[in-house]
Amino acid sequence: MSLIFKRLNSCASRFRPVDASYGVLRHIHFPGITSFEDGQKFQQMVVGANLDFKQMETKIKRQLKDVPAGFRLNDYEDELIKRVLSMKPLPTLLTFEFNNVYTGGKKMKQDPQLQQKIDQYRSLGCEYHQLERGGQVTWHGNGQLTAYVVLDIKGFTDLTVRCFVDSVLIQSAQNVLKKHYNIDAYNDPENPGLYVQKDPYNGKIVSVGTHIQRAVTSYGIGLNVNNDLKYLNQFEMCGLPGVSATSIAKEIPSAKVTVKDVADQYAQQLALRLNIGQVDHIDGREIIEQSKESDSNQ
């Protein structure tokens, strides 16, 4: 109990952007069904931009430290460096409704029955994709919100990896479920995610998995909105035998809710958890069209 309390209590701090460049959350929603491959490509574009900027930022700061003692940059040089550093990519939330796929975390690579399981997934008409996130196997698809959060955790005060998972990714989803649908959901400290039952935990409604590279986050959550639960309940998900899945639609049959509704609600709660004052909502169709034009010109 003391270890669990320490874990939760250690994230009690209020996270704030370190500087003004992180004062806006960019929310890009891809309407309709997006192929899983396209979703990964768009996420990697955003992650790549963040990593490229960090490399440049580190180089600039290292060079500034090497400036000889007594030497001072002139006003033009100082202003130029400030402008370059202010071009840091914004914290970004990518939200999707994917085609039906099963995805495996790093632990799945060691599963001796992996190929047999992949064959079973394909028998349901689902693809299988191996990812570099944490965790084991889960499902994404029609009727589920998949939300990827890409940001530099060092861009916020007191934001550790553990706090990012528990107090940002999971807490934001928990707030959406309670505020908009009056669903009480509980995070299991031993198996992170949200469940509508506890003692024991069951009725999983949110799964979580993330990857951190040089403090830049990727992946995020899967929140069951109105999806067909057979894909989640036919196999063992996330390495949790005996745990079944549920959804907003199952818990609140009268709720007329769409994936986009929940995506917008999640964006607002994410911004609140990170103390970001502005959310810019962007239609992902524009990015898809630009990507297609770029591919056709190559």
pLDDT band for position 259 (50/70/90)? very high
Look up the pTM and report it.
0.88
CA distance 216 to 52: 11
239, 186 contact by CB (below 8 A)? no
CA distance 165 to 215: 13
Position 9 in a domain:
no
Position 113 in a domain:
yes
CATH number at residue 132: 3.30.930.10
75 pLDDT more than 80:
no
Residue 200, classed as helix, strand or coil, is coil
- The order of strands in the sheet holding 137-140 is 127-130, 101-104, 137-140
Report how far apart, in Å, the C-alpha atoms of 199 and of each of 9, 78, 205 are: 21, 58, 16
pLDDT of residue 84: 65
165 pLDDT more than 90:
yes
Establish whether 43 is an annotated binding residue.
no
Position 117 in a domain:
yes
Looking at the 3D structure of the chain, how many domains does it have? 1
1 pLDDT more than 60:
no
Strand partners, 98: 34
183, 81 contact by CB (below 8 A)? no
Establish whether 243 is an annotated binding residue.
no
Position 276 in a domain:
yes
Establish whether 239 is an annotated binding residue.
no
What sections of the chain are H helices per DSSP?
2-9, 36-65, 75-85, 114-123, 161-163, 171-181, 230-233, 248-251, 259-273, 284-297
CA distance 39 to 22: 24
Q: Which domain holds residue 88?
A: 20-66+76-183+210-224+258-284
74 pLDDT more than 80:
no
Is 22 or 133 the better-scoring residue by pLDDT? 22
Position 197 in a domain:
no
Give residue 52's Cα distance to chain centre. 20
Please tell me the total number of residues recorded for the chain in this structure. Answer: 298
Residue 14, classed as helix, strand or coil, is coil
CA distance 286 to 144: 22
pLDDT band for position 82 (50/70/90)? low
Residue 43, classed as helix, strand or coil, is helix
Which residues belong to the active site?
Answer: 238
Establish whether 84 is an annotated binding residue.
no
At 240, list the tokens: 């949790």
Establish whether 134 is an annotated binding residue.
yes
Position 102 in a domain:
yes
Q: Which of 111, 101, 119, 112 is nearest to 38 (CA)?
A: 101
CA distance 48 to 135: 23
**29-59: pLDDT as tens digits:** 999 999 999 999 999 999 999 999 999 888 8
Position 27 in a domain:
yes
Helix, strand, coil share of the chain (percent; to 5) = 45, 25, 35
pLDDT band for position 289 (50/70/90)? confident
Q: Give the number of other Cβ atoms within 10 Å of residue 92's Cβ.
A: 23
Position 56 in a domain:
yes
